[in-house]
Structure 1
Amino acid sequence: MAPWSAAVDGRDAVFSYVPEVGAQPRIQPHAWRGRSVLVPVAAVPGLAAAVEAVLESTATAKVGGLDRWSRARVDRITECVYFDGPVLAGGRNGHTPVRTLFVAVADLRGLRLRLTAYLAAPGLA
């Protein structure tokens, strides 16, 4: 799950990110409230594991959300992956790195499927 940790706060999943020491801001997660999240390529497997951990711990998260998340888009310059979808909160704007992402538990299944698809075939994104 590293560099991510996960928790559930009511109806929201909270994902916390701990960047490597000295990591540049451009290769840290970014979030645009209600629109999308950008995740460093190297951090995608950890986010997938964190999402899976939340899904395993919450019975209500087993259905829904797929239509709310886009397929992964890779930015080869920044080495980050974009997922358009219903991120509940992030930084002031997407250009500021964030260490915490909030996603409704009901939308996690869709995010998990998009993360899994990306990890299965990263060259196709």
Structure 2
Amino acid sequence: MSTLTELPRWTIRTSGDQATFTHVPGSPAPRVMGGRGLALHEEDLPGFAKALGEVMKLPTYWTARARAGRLTLDGEPAWSEPRRGPADGFVHVDGPCHGSGGSFTVGLADIRALRVRIAAYLHQRGFEARSGG
């Protein structure tokens, strides 16, 4: 059974142990690097962090994490530290995702690690917590 969550800039569908994020048109679409990572426009990061938090509220998220055995922060991080591209306004993060055309899929067990990386980046860059999404 899949779950659908809609925010102003993101639609999230969970199914099985995966979450698919679809960006609503209006700003540059996310770029996905074939299973190696993704790039999001910096202005979209606060809303994306909120979207990740919404996924973490779902029972399917907790079930997937328990099944994957990732209830601690031990081991190698699934996601790299985000880094801003010098000229394009995109923030790049390496990690396990797949997709194209403004949509990408992330394993539910990897959501928390991505959210931590994005939140740390936003804090470091001085972004205020914003509602919206």
Q: TM-score range by the shorter chain?
A: 0.7 to 0.9
**Alpha carbon RMSD of aligned pairs, Å?**
1.9
Q: Which runs of 4+ in 1 moved over 4 A?
A: none
State the identity as a percent.
31
**Number of aligned positions between the proteins:** 111
Query: Which structure would you say has the larger Rg?
Result: 2
Q: Distance in 2 between matches of 1:37 and 1:90?
A: 9
Paired amino acid for 2:62: A
- Give the corresponding residue for 2:3: none
Kept in 2, the 8 Å contact 1:6–1:51? The answer is no
Q: How does 1:33-112 map to 2 (within 5 A)?
A: 33-57=34-58, 58-60=61-63, 61=65, 63=71, 67-87=77-97, 89-91=98-100, 98-112=101-115
Q: Quick one: which of 5, 14, 38 aligns to 1:8?
A: 14
Are 1:6 and 1:53, in contact at CA under 8 Å, matched by a contact in 2?
A: no
TM (normalized to structure 2)?
A: 0.75
**Aligned counterparts of 2:125 and 2:8: Cα–Cα separation in 1:** 19
SS of residue paired to 1:48: helix
**Unpaired segments ≥5 residues, structure 2:** 1-6, 127-133
TM-score, scaled relative to structure 1: 0.79
Aligned partners of 1:90, 1:120: CA distance in 2, in Å? 27
In structure 1, list runs of 5 or more residues that go unmatched.
92-97
